[in-house]
Amino acid sequence: MHYGKLVEMDKTVTLLEQMEQNTGPVILINKFNVKPEEIDNLLKAWASDASYFNQQLGFVSTQIHRGIEGSCVFINYAIWNPLNCLSRHLKSDQTLLFFPSVTYDLTAWFGGTP
C-alpha cells in the first residue's frame, strides 16, 4: 500500500527542522495530488483526521480546497498554536500525516507572521 511521498516546499529548511521551533500560531499547508478515483478516499480521510485533530491541544482549525474544473489538486491548511503542540502529537502518532487509503504526493510547509 502506498502511503504518499513528502516533497519539501522549502529548499533551505526541512519540515522537520521547522517543527522543532517553539512558535505560534503557525499555518501548516499541505498540497495533495491525487488520482481521480481516490478523491472520495482523500476527502473521507481528511474529514476523519480533521475531526480527530479538533480534539487535540493546540489545534485551531483546518480547511481543504479543491482546484476547479475537475482538478485533482487539493490544498489543506491547518492552524496550530503553538507549533510544539503539533510537533509533540506527531512524534507520538505519525500515521496521521498520511492517509493510507489514498495515493498522493504531499508537499507541506509552515507559515507564520513575517
> Which residues pair with residue 31 across a beta bridge?
75, 107
Q: Determine the Cα–Cα distance for residues 54 and 52; give it in Å rounded to an integer.
A: 5
pLDDT of residue 15: 75
**pTM, entire model:** 0.76
Q: What is the pLDDT of residues 22-75, one digit of tens each?
A: 777 888 888 888 889 888 888 988 898 888 888 888 899 999 999 999 999 998
Of the pLDDT bands very low, low, confident and very high (cuts 50, 70, 90), residue 107 is low
The reply to whether CATH 3.10.180.10 applies to domain 5-105 is no
Domain positions in the chain:
5-105
DSSP string, 36-89: GGGHHHHHHHHHHHHHHHTTSTTEEEEEEEE-STT--EEEEEEEESSHHHHHHH
Question: Which single residue is written with the C-alpha cell 513575517?
Answer: 114
Closest CA to 33 of 106, 109, 108: 106
